[in-house]
Amino acid sequence: MKFIVVSCCLGLLMGCNQSSTTTVEESSEQKNIRDLLELPAHISTPAIPEYNPLSEQKITLGRFLFYDKKLSANQTQSCSSCHLQALAFSDAVATPFGSTGHQLTRNSQGLANVVYHSTFTWSNNGFLELEDQLNVPIRADNPIELGVTDSKIEEVLARFDNDPDYEAMFAEAFPDSDSGASINKIIFSLASFLRTMISANSAYDQYLLGDTGALTEQQKLGFSLFNGEKFECFHCHTGNNFSVSYRDSNTTEDTIQYPFFNNGLYNVDGQGSYPSEDQGLYDLTLDPADRGMFRPQSLRNIELTAPYMHDGSIATLREVIEHYARGGRLIENGPNAGDGNLSPLKSGLILPFETTDEEIDAVIAFLESLTDYEFINNPKFSDPFEE
């Protein structure tokens, strides 16, 4: 099988309608993945770990588990409690509460095209597969999300082993095992379901594929500004997933990137520090240079995933753009007071620039063109318990 990679020439990046295509020959394994995920021709085949190959049965089981509150220790929350399909699998709050009422420190990310990230979570350079990341919301005890700690594992697994429907789904998803439910099987199934969450039919996608009327003139202006040297959004948000944290099945080990940036959101001590409760990659590495380092998120469906930033501290897209135009956020009062524009740790890409309301409106309009209404209404991703 062949699929088409749409390569954006300089003219397209600057807002014209020119594009070129490259035809890539795929292996039978890649073809099977494309068929299973129903990928459109302009989207690359994702990288799938060999130890957890995709199957319809694991995807089905993962979908049920994603929406089932039995997966939390106290049966009050499911994965979907913080990831709502109508909001591109985000939740519209700054930071959510876990199943025991503990407030988390980080904003719930949207899950569209999560399979294409090179690392997972806001700031962890060790989570290279979804299977690594999923342990955190399920198993972690600080903070508690679903709360399946060591003392609760057997109780939670018994709920699925004692349910005939789940017993059958686990057996079908893992036919070479007769041991029933396990945390690894749950994680492998959830990861398989999450990998199906492909968003690729926005107005932008239609424009990219040749429908020149898919974007308004204002959105085309915003597209040009987004990729221009004044706004410079494309340095961190580029490619099919609008993030330099990207890989697919054709990405080689020597070319894969694991990017994290300090964007000048805080400068609480004049030395570049972020609030002590979350200093990004620094909390993992303890390298002072990593203070405030976070992964650039995908901008797919960004219109639906407010509030923004790792802590949900910016409410609107306009405020986000104004933050970058200023070259960093100014907080005048309170415990987090400081001028992000003066942060010595801020990325060199975050430089102040002059803009107009008309230009900001155009960039916002372009970002709104990344909303995929088919994705947020696709029954494949919906709650199976409501069918």
Tens-digit pLDDT profile for residues 3-58: 444 444 333 333 333 333 445 567 888 889 999 999 999 999 999 999 999 999 99
- Spatial contact of 234 and 94, defined as CB atoms under 8 Å apart: no
Position 181 pLDDT exceeds 60: yes
CB 272 within 8 A of CB 345: yes
Nearest residue to 46 (alpha-carbon basis) of 116, 151, 108, 101: 116
According to DSSP, residue 146 is labeled S
Nearest alpha carbon to residue 166 among 36, 60, 54? 60
Average pLDDT (348-377) is: 98
Question: Which residues partner with 25 through β-bridges?
Answer: 2
Element (H, E) at 342: none
Contact indicator for 115, 197 with CB cutoff of 8 Å: yes
pLDDT for 21: 43
pLDDT score at 18? 32
- High-pLDDT (> 90) share of the chain, %: 90
Average pLDDT over residues 360-384: 98
* Residue 129 burial by Cβ neighbours in a 10 Å radius (0-12, 13-18, 19+): middle
Q: What are 2's strand-pairing partners?
A: 25
